[in-house]
Structure 1
């Protein structure tokens, strides 16, 4: 059954690839970009397949209601919201300025939160229509939403916040036939590590961190750009399958809250789970002895 997708950050990467996969499968797609003139090739590719494009900067809170109204008017409502727009702010936590921190959270957390709140009435109505089998909210997170490397403090904080929101949202909206899916990619060969999608603090890495673990991690990211092992097309195909209940991963539809993607993601998640389990076991006796006598 064809549904209407609303995908933010459709100018490149997962957003563009997912839009094209959905359109090829016969679904309706409304993609958003911050500036159509700067994203001309993506806009042309989506429109050539019958999709629609709206301009939206997710950090502009006052623009969201009007854009949501436009989106709902195109096909009579949105069935699937994909919060994909985002970027990474990488560097030492100590070096980050207040405005840089706020912009990271505005883009990766508050933008998705506002879109969810604005579209929930539509998603709720569509999810309970007899001819529509389910509405879906897809929040694109990251393996860094669990496992935090040096230099990723604020980026990971934004993704931790999005994951916490999604946990509660899944419980609150299940009764309305709305499914919530958190997508947790590892390293995929998109433009994510490029200068267009990754920002560094305004000031250079401060002296205490030069030559240390933060500096080394940033150098690894620079070297990895364009060499990531993950195929983004395969990643978005798995996302599409889980959302629609079709294909190789279709059997997972409605059964999972989190979709890890990539061998590196699985390895890092297993490591994080192991460290959590270790802390729990080491502190169990102390933790269990804190009730009133």
Structure 2
């Protein structure tokens, strides 16, 4: 079955992998970029099957224009992949107000507005799928990633509620939670706070090592992860979450088990506050 996909951030990372695999199998892709030259090769190779749209997720008005233009280009949208974003790292106190605002405007509000703009088209078509790229950081909080965690936890809560809202219309929502992957995310998708000496040697300072190419020992294969995302669209009902990578699975399950273990003993205290 040939599908039309809208994928944000196709110039690199998972977005690039998705675009390449989808076009190779004969699907149509409307991809967003900030630099058109980054996908010139895909335009040349795939012609009418690939439509390029300029988009910065902090430009809220432009988001709806791009979604509508992608729908008009293809006549329908089958799958919308909210992929574009970046990682911001540093202790909360080290971050500037501008960094905080830009991280949330991009990773959280930009993703929310993209999905909101796409839902009328999917609902009118009687179905479709939304894939929201999150991270194992959407479940696991690490020192030095408080704002990245805030954005990912926020978009996961949004998507989980939206999934229940749009299920009656045949629209599925999947939150993708990859672990570390050998993409260029570590080289261009990471931004850092200026360090404060007060945090030298603290748990939050560990993320400073990522400046030189991302976390060490990354084992995730981005091509396999992209293929798993694509395959998930054929699953019915849509999986609410898709955990990718043994590191992600290990961290997420350990965190959920610890969270439940902390809450279970509070049953009596919780009940004692009932009227």
For the aligned pair, the TM-score class normalised by the smaller chain equals over 0.9
User: Of the candidates 121, 142, 150, which is equivalent to residue 157 of structure 1?
Assistant: 150
Which residue is equivalent to 1:277? Answer: 260
Deviates more, 1:219-228 or 1:165-174: 219-228
| 1:147 matched to 2:140 | yes
In the aligned structure 2, how far is the partner of 1:282 from the partner of 1:178? Answer: 38
Q: Output aligned runs, 1:124-203, within 5 Å.
A: 124-126=123-125, 128=126, 134-194=127-187, 196-201=188-193
Count of residue pairs brought into register by the alignment: 273
Residue 5 of structure 2 contacts residue 27 of structure 2 at CA under 8 Å; is this kept in 1?
yes
Q: Deviations over 1:23-60 (max 9, x none)?
A: 122211111101213x2xx3322551331111111110
Matched, 1:28 2:28: yes
- 8 Å CA contact 1:189, 1:226 repeated in 2: no
- How much does 1:224 deviate? 4.4
- Report Cα offsets for 1:145-164 as digits up to 9, x if no partner: 01011111000100001000
| 1:220 positional shift | 5.5
TM-score (norm 2): 0.94
2:90 touches 2:207 (CA, 8 Å); kept in 1? no
Aligned counterparts of 2:206 and 2:145: Cα–Cα separation in 1: 13
> After TM superposition, which residue ranges in structure 1, 4 or more long, deviate above 6 angstroms?
none
Cα deviation per residue 1:200-231 (whole Å; 9 max; x = unaligned)?
12xx2111101221122332674645752110
Q: CA RMSD in A?
A: 1.6
Call closer, same or farther: CA 1:46–1:168 in 2, change over 3 Å.
farther
Gaps of 5+ in 2: none
**Structure 1 portions without partners, runs of 5+:** 129-133, 246-251
Q: Aligned in 2, Cα 1:43/1:285: closer, same or farther, shift over 3 Å?
A: farther
Q: Distance in 1 between matches of 2:167 and 2:51?
A: 29
